[in-house]
Chain A
Amino acid sequence: MLVIRRRPGESILIGEDIAIEVLEIGPGRVKLGITAPREIAVLRGEIRLTGETNQLAAREVALPVIESLIERLRARGVCDEK
């Protein structure tokens, strides 16, 4: 992995037509501006996590497991009822 230190206002070029600029550095997070051709998909890394989670969530669930989930959801109420 290439590691580069950047300050706000500085950027990184990837290939001919992708640029990533550091716009702002705040406490605990950084704001980036990305310039790329329309055909390049720019996605947050979490989308892969959600894709993997969806694959797991799509597996068949046995009916008794679903029934027990419904019962537990009903018994649980909502999370401020402590």
Chain B
Amino acid sequence: MPEHKTRYFGTMTFAEDAIIRFPKGLPGFPDETRFLLIEQPVNAPLLFLQSLNRSDLCFLATPAPAICPEFHLSIGAEDLSVIGLPEDRQPAAGKDVLCLALITLSEDKRPAANLLAPVLINWRNHTGVQAIQVESGYSHTHPIFAEREVAPCS
């Protein structure tokens, strides 16, 4: 089985069919087209999207519905076709596609999740895309934790 050096977990072995292809790369990272999703119960609900091209590149993510249970998708036809989904209807998050929000942690700000552009993974064909939602109103820096109460979802 192939091995890969990861940012947070040392060297990991993985099955070939664990590779997720991102034909378009990610915004800001157009050359990163192959990732592993590292999902371990001990770290749930946090997941790690590790680049197979760059060992030092690993995004933190969590299922978007864990941030916002009513999370709904509004994905353009082009992005749906990238991951081989029908273009005439919206996929259901967590059902048709795994839908992840990438997390930004910066020292001066509260942890934020990008709900505007979720990472969609179609496990049927092992492809993914980070899709900018068409008509969502979601923020690219949705605060995960509010000061006192939980942040509203939209």
Instruction: Kindly identify, within residues 41 to 64 of chain B, every residue whose CB is under 8 Å from any CB belonging to chain A.
Output: 43-46, 56-60, 62
Interface 9-residue window, one of B84-92, B120-128, B138-146: B138-146
Question: Contact mask B131-154 → A, CB, 8 Å, 1/0?
Answer: 010010000110011000111110
B26 is an interface residue with CB less than 8 A from chain A: yes
A46 is an interface residue with CB less than 8 A from chain B: yes
Please classify the interface of chain B as helix (H, G, I), strand (E, B), loop, or mixed, using the class held by over half of its residues.
loop
Is A76 touching B46 in the complex (CB atoms < 8 A)? Answer: no
Is A79 touching B141 in the complex (CB atoms < 8 A)? Answer: no
Is B46 touching A66 in the complex (CB atoms < 8 A)? Answer: yes
Of chain A, the residue at the smallest CB distance from B70 is A80
How many residues in B have their beta carbons less than 8 Å from beta carbons of A? Answer: 43
Please classify the interface of chain A as helix (H, G, I), strand (E, B), loop, or mixed, using the class held by over half of its residues.
helix
Nearest CB on B from A38, distance (A): 13
Is A70 touching B28 in the complex (CB atoms < 8 A)? Answer: no
Interface size class of A (residues with CB under 8 A): 20 to 34
Nearest CB on B from A66, distance (A): 7
A44 is an interface residue with CB less than 8 A from chain B: yes
Is B26 touching A81 in the complex (CB atoms < 8 A)? Answer: no
Of chain B, the residue at the smallest CB distance from A81 is B150
Is B27 touching A56 in the complex (CB atoms < 8 A)? Answer: no
Is A46 touching B102 in the complex (CB atoms < 8 A)? Answer: no
A residues within 8 A CB of B65?
78
B10 is an interface residue with CB less than 8 A from chain A: no
Is B102 touching A57 in the complex (CB atoms < 8 A)? Answer: yes
Is B60 touching A57 in the complex (CB atoms < 8 A)? Answer: yes
B18 is an interface residue with CB less than 8 A from chain A: no
Is A51 touching B28 in the complex (CB atoms < 8 A)? Answer: yes
Is A73 touching B66 in the complex (CB atoms < 8 A)? Answer: yes
